[in-house]
Amino acid sequence: MGPAFNRLWAGSIISNLSDGVLIAAAPLLAITLTDSTVLISIIGAMVMLPWLLFAMPIGVMVDRVDRRFILAGSNAMRSAIVGVMALGIATGQVTIYWLIISAFVIGVCEVATDTTAQSLIPQILDEEHYEKGNSRLQISETVIQGFIGSPLSGFLYAIAIWLPFFINSIGYAVATLLAISIPIQYLQDVRTENKKEGQPHFIEDIKFGIKYLYNHKVLRRLVVTTASIGVCYSAATATTVLFIIKELGLAPRYFGVILTIQGLGALFGAIVAPRASKKFGRSIMMTLGITASSVLILIQGFSPNIYVFVLLATLGGFTISQWNILLMATYQTIIPNELYGRIHGTRRTLVWGLMPIGSLLGGVLAHFSLRLPMYVGGVIASVIALSSIKFLLSVATSADSNK
């Protein structure tokens, strides 16, 4: 896959270790600071809100600036923010509001790292390797984040509440160094248009991304579908930690272990995705993935105990992993590389930017019942997925004809 991809992959492994530690530690910290379902759901909303506010301008930057520097800078900022949080926890100064603000800043950094990493794939790999590259990144996320970071976080948290955040800060610092070390000779200049006339105005680039997405029928329909389902998923999972611990009676120290078990499904899905796509077709596997995962979200709300919930969540991880990998390969095939940052930022503004609304809705619904967010989110997501089957089954062919 080449040295450039290997450095990107190594940085992904380290940052996903940090993410895994943080994903398990942050909600555990939150429920020690407040019992409010709304405040807890706001944390998830703050992580996603930057996609609505900053995805498009960051996407433009990705097409203008050396992508290594954006990746390194955002990881460095995350390292600093989480390091300060660890200090605040150790000294007893942290509050739920501090955690909410930190979640927002970390969310901004996540927009930059995710957009940049996905933009680098078509820059450093040939098209026939897109699914393989995305699969490896997904596997590293699943294995490191789910099987090492999350369970490690629970045990570190049991030793000292601040310890997982300290480890998280170190991990992001290492990822910063790996991003800087990506060999520049493997990164071709992706900004090819307007070389003689100079770069267009920043605002013009944002407008271009919006117009391009709006005028591309397949991309527009795909983005609207995924954005709608994403809101439902965000609502359904906003208060999962409370549902698992308070409704199903799981001890907090085992929360990371539960995330690890769920990751088994996502890992298997990531391994299978490229092979299944080659054998059955990308469109078919994408359709099965999003439809099955939507139905499973609904069924999880009926879980009588933690064992049934984990089984359903593991199956959900398998199906959504298929969808994520193949969807990303589809985008990377359709969108020209020199435009990828702008278009990627625009679509993520819609898809991920609307998720905070879902998170807040989930928090409000959970105030009445911790199962209600999964009921409501699951039903709506299933209806959208089922009504989109015809379109999704033809998306690969339609994409090629509308390039």
The span from the CA of 294 to the CA of 285, in Å, is 14
Helix (H, G, I), strand (E, B) or coil at 263: helix
Summarised one tens digit per residue, pLDDT across range 91-122 is 888 888 998 999 899 889 888 888 888 778 77
**Between residues 56 and 72, the one the model is more confident about:** 72
**Between residues 362 and 141, the one the model is more confident about:** 362
**Between residues 36 and 386, the one the model is more confident about:** 386
Query: What single letter denotes the amino acid at residue 76?
Result: A
Report residue 356: phi and psi, to 5°. -60, -35
- Return the pLDDT at 198: 53
Report the pLDDT averaged over residues 60-82.
Answer: 86
303 touches 250 (CB < 8 A): no
Helix (H, G, I), strand (E, B) or coil at 201: coil
The span from the CA of 266 to the CA of 314, in Å, is 7
**Between residues 312 and 67, the one the model is more confident about:** 312
**Between residues 311 and 251, the one the model is more confident about:** 311
- Return the pLDDT at 194: 43
**Residue 225 reports pLDDT greater than 80:** yes
Residues 6+ apart with CB under 8 A from 288: 319, 322
Summarised one tens digit per residue, pLDDT across range 332-371 is 788 877 777 778 778 878 887 788 788 888 888 988 999 9
Question: Would the pTM count as exceeding 0.85?
Answer: no
Of all residues in the chain, the percent with pLDDT exceeding 90 is 18
Q: Which two tokens stand for residue 164?
A: 């997982």
Of all residues in the chain, the percent with pLDDT exceeding 70 is 90
What is the band of 317 on the pLDDT scale with cuts at 50, 70, 90?
confident
**Residue 381 reports pLDDT greater than 90:** yes
Q: What is the CA radius of gyration of the chain?
A: 20
Architecture of domain 3-183+202-401: Up-down Bundle (1.20)
312 touches 303 (CB < 8 A): yes
Report the pLDDT averaged over residues 238-261.
Answer: 82
18 touches 173 (CB < 8 A): no
- Return the pLDDT at 150: 66
**Residue 379 reports pLDDT greater than 90:** yes
Q: Which residues of 145-170 are buried (b: 16+ CB within 10 A; e: fewer)?
A: bbbbbbbbbbebbeeebbbbbbbbbb
